[in-house]
Amino acid sequence: MTRIGAAFEGARRERRAAFIAYLTAGDPSPEATLGLARAVSRAGADVLELGVPFSDPIADGPVLQRSAARALAAGTTLATVFDVARRIRRETSLALVLFSYVNPVLRFGVAGAARAAREAGFDGVLLTDVPPEETRGLHPAMRAEGLDTILLVSPTSPLRRMREAARLSSGFLYVVSRAGITGARTSLPRDLPETVRRARGAGGSLPVAVGFGIATPEAARQAARIADGVVVGSALVQAAEAEALDREGAVESLARRLVDACRRGPRAPK
């Protein structure tokens, strides 16, 4: 079992959804990212998606676009992300997912990137702009290094496409809660339970995690009732952005509330 699989299994035994945090590597510096990773780890996060900043982040909303711009301005490259991951692996027990658009991986070299990711301590890879039809030249190299491969499905994905994405995924299947770009929202879409139900039908025993738009403990609580994992990115990045003098404190405080909201049953906060 990979570290990602163990994280979901541990959460299941504890009657909660796994909490998956996202941070943009290098925003505003590698040292700051390490501190924020420590913060989400202290808060009880299970998995950390470490984002590779990219100059044309077509799936990202304004918060993550600004975050990527700051990281790029600081000189962050894919090699920098591997260095940051190596330090996070030494200092935390978080399962780590390399979260990237495909261009930086292609520029680095697919086989080399897969090897470097494994050596840095990553446990899985999620390439946001790679559909199931385009994984053939990418995923075998990742799997050869023992990395989980994670694909996205959305409310508009037909069942056949969900099944193909699930077949190519390991670790978990990522359900995008709504069409469009990332960003904090005040509520979850009404059709999300049906989207998750279809994803479960497509994936069998593969864990299902929900992300895009989850920003508050109440939204996390709702998502945790229907999914195996809850992903939060923009809200955490925005908290760090708004509290420059105490980024770690702001992120840890929000992450703790989100982790608590992922608990099910009588222990869940009212």
**Whole-number Å distance between alpha carbons of 190 and 196:** 11
Hey, is 157 helix, strand or coil? coil
Kindly tell me the burial class for residue 58, based on how many C-beta atoms sit within 10 Å of its own C-beta (0-12, 13-18, 19 or more). exposed
Q: Which residues pair with 130 in a beta bridge?
A: none
DSSP code at position 127: E
The predicted model gives 154-182 an average pLDDT of: 89
pLDDT digits (tens, 9 = 90+) for 170-187: 999 999 987 655 555 566
- Phi, psi (5° rounding) for residue 189? -65, 150
Percent of the chain with pLDDT over 90: 88
For 72-96, letters b (16+ CB in 10 Å) and e give: bebebbbebbbbbbbbbbeebebbb
CB atoms within 10 A of CB 6: 14
Residues with active-site annotation: 49, 60
**Whole-number Å distance between alpha carbons of 16 and 228:** 8
User: E strand or H helix at 175, and its extent?
Assistant: strand 173-176
The predicted model gives 151-165 an average pLDDT of: 95
Q: In what order do the strands lie in the sheet with 95-100?
A: 148-150, 124-127, 95-100, 47-51, 18-24, 229-232, 208-211, 173-176, 152-153
CB 92 within 8 A of CB 38: yes
What's the topology of domain 3-267?
A: TIM Barrel (3.20.20)
- Phi, psi (5° rounding) for residue 14? -90, 10
**pLDDT averaged over every residue in the chain:** 93
The predicted model gives 11-29 an average pLDDT of: 97
Residue 190 banded pLDDT, cuts 50, 70, 90: confident
Angle of CA points 198, 100, 259, to nearest 5°: 60
Domain segments of the chain as ranges: 3-267
